[in-house]
């Protein structure tokens, strides 16, 4: 009986589906009205099943189309299939890099973004940013592979490749006489619990022949107690080694100030979204000034990310900036090109 309570019209749906649906509905109601003793075609049991299946199938099609029209669903089309195939390919390449690749794997590229030192007016630090170059897709940006690498446990190997290549480039630039205070690499909390994480980190830096203070590590805010404890443990080990520690993306998560301050990191990176908000209203500018003053008094260095305009640069400078990073100065470039931003001698 529920099958008979189907509405008559579906405004957002191709009318052909509606006609077919009502055709099956009509047949089904004829079957229900025909006398039991009839040897009429309608009385074959298969006929009843066919009507019910027809109603169900077309009702589902209509229901789904309605949802699509209301934007609550998207139909899986050719484009989605291509995206799915590409994701699958990237995942298999990540697996191959993590399981068979070397620390020099050519598919993992180090890009970097020079960071401007406000006090000296020079570029003496930079951030390493990962890219992949894969045979079938060309250059792949982090938003398309970092979440996959984190989810499937490949991120640690990738980080170690970035660390290795970054350390070797630092060594090369130092040997050439360039002034580089340090380069930071990003770490994901997923990898901090890896067995031998610290040992591997130390041996890569030592093998490159650079000092620990010329490398820095960036962490994002922890989401829960377990993550926080992992970060805390690593931070104290890094500090003992002399590795500089950065808090990345400040202003994006639910900032837990107690936790942030008890980590005692060296540099706080104000996320680009804070600058965009401050561009728009006075309250956000006040917040920016408030937080940057607090961090400065607590002995942190303040770095602003995503600086794109002169107005933003000015705002950062009056809001206690020590370092500036953003497209205004440079987009990320292959790390081999970093020397053109550095001073020599
Ligand atoms: P992030 O660590 O916050 O890196 C900064 C991102 O902001 C970079 O994107 C950079 O290109 C972009 N950016 C810099 N200046 C500007 C600007 O002025 N305007 C705008 N609109 N964007 C700017 P990218 O390289 O695509 O990296 C995205 C994210 O991927 C990074 O965010 C980081 O979370 C992650 N990531 C990148 N490399 C690594 C890595 O080696 N390891 C890990 N774990 N994560 C990485
Ligand atoms: Ca970062
Ligand atoms: Ca950031």
pLDDT per position as a tens digit, 2-18: 555 666 677 777 788 88
CB 307, CB 325: distance < 8 Å: yes
Q: Does residue 338 have a pLDDT over 90? A: yes
129 beta partners? 111
Which tokens in the block code for residue 272? 């680009």
List residues, by chain if needed, whose CB lies under 5 Å from ion ligand 2: 186, 218, 248
Distance from the alpha carbon of residue 203 to the mean position of ligand 2, in angstroms: 23
Tell me the C-alpha distance between 94 and 100, whole Å.
Answer: 10
Tokens coding 214: 């010329």
pLDDT for 156 equals: 96
Kindly state the average pLDDT of the residues 67-76: 72
Ligand 1 atom having least distance to the Cα of 307:
18
Report the distance separating Cα 287 and Cα 322, nearest Å: 18
% of residues, the chain, pLDDT over 70: 92
Residues touching ligand 1 (Cβ under 6 Å) are: 113, 129-130, 141-142, 146, 155, 159, 162, 186, 188, 248-249, 272, 306-308, 326-327, 332
The band of 289, judged by pLDDT with boundaries at 50, 70 and 90, is very high
Tokens of 327: 């497209």
**What pLDDT does residue 158 have?**
97
pLDDT at 281 over 70: yes
Q: Which residues have a beta carbon within 5 Å of ligand 3, which is an ion?
A: 248-249, 305
Nearest to 89 by CA among 131, 140, 130: 140
> What distances in angstroms separate CA 214 from CA 177, 180, 187, 275, one per listed residue?
14, 8, 16, 28
What spacing in Å lies between the alpha carbon of 269 and ligand 3's midpoint?
A: 7
What's the pLDDT score for residue 292? Answer: 96
Q: How far is the CA of 161 from the centre of ligand 1 (A)?
A: 17
173 C-alpha to ligand 2 centroid (Å): 22
At 109, list the tokens. 């590229």
Check whether 319 has a pLDDT greater than 50: yes
Residues 132-159 have pLDDT tens digits of: 999 999 999 999 999 999 999 999 999 9
> Could you give phi then psi for residue 219, rounded to 5 degrees?
-120, 150
Looking at the whole model, is its pTM more than 0.85?
no
Q: Spell 207-244 as b/e; 16+ CB within 10 A means b.
A: ebebebebbbbbbbbbeeeebbebbbebbeebeeeebb
- Cβ count within 10 A of residue 327: 13
Please say if the pLDDT value at position 125 is more than 90.
yes
Q: pLDDT digits over 183-223, tens only? A: 999 999 999 988 899 999 999 999 999 999 999 999 998 88
Split at pLDDT 50, 70, 90, the class of 1 is: very low
What is the mean pLDDT of the segment spanning 249-254?
85
């Amino acid at each position: 009986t529920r099958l008979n309570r189907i509405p008559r019209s579906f405004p957002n749906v191709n009318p052909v589906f509606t006609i077919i649906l009502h055709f099956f509905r009509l047949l089904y109601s004829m079957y229900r009205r025909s006398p039991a003793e009839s040897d009429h075609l309608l009385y074959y049991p298969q006929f009843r099943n066919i009507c019910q299946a027809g109603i169900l199938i077309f009702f589902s099609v209509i229901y789904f189309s309605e949802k699509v029209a209301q934007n609550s669903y998207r139909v899986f089309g050719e484009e989605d299939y291509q995206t799915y195939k590409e994701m699958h390919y990237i995942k298999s390449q990540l697996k191959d890099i993590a399981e068979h690749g070397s620390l020099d794997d050519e598919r993992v590229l180090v890009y970097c973004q020079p960071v401007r030192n406000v006090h000296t007016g020079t570029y003496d630090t930079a951030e390493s940013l990962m890219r992949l170059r894969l045979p079938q897709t060309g250059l792949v940006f982090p938003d398309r592979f970092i979440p996959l690498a984190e989810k499937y446990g490949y991120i640690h190997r990738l980080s170690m490749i970035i660390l290795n290549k970054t350390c070797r480039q630092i060594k090369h630039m130092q040997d050439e006489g360039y002034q580089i205070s340090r380069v930071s690499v990003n770490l994901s909390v997923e990898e901090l619990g890896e067995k031998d994480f610290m040992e591997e980190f130390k041996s890569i830096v030592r093998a490159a022949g650079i000092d620990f203070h010329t490398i820095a590590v960036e962490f994002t805010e922890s989401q829960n107690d377990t993550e926080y404890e992992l970060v805390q443990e690593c931070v104290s080990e890094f500090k003992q080694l002399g590795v500089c520690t950065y808090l990345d993306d400040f202003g994006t998560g639910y900032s837990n100030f107690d936790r942030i301050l008890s980590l005692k990191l060296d540099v706080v990176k104000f996320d680009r979204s804070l600058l965009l908000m401050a561009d728009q209203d006075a309250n956000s500018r006040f917040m920016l000034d408030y937080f940057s003053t607090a961090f400065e008094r607590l002995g942190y260095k303040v770095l602003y990310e995503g600086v794109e305009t002169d107005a933003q640069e000015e705002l950062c400078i009056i809001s206690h900036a020590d370092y500036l990073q953003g497209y205004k100065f440079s987009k990320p470039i292959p790390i081999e090109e970093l020397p053109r931003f550095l001073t020599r001698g």
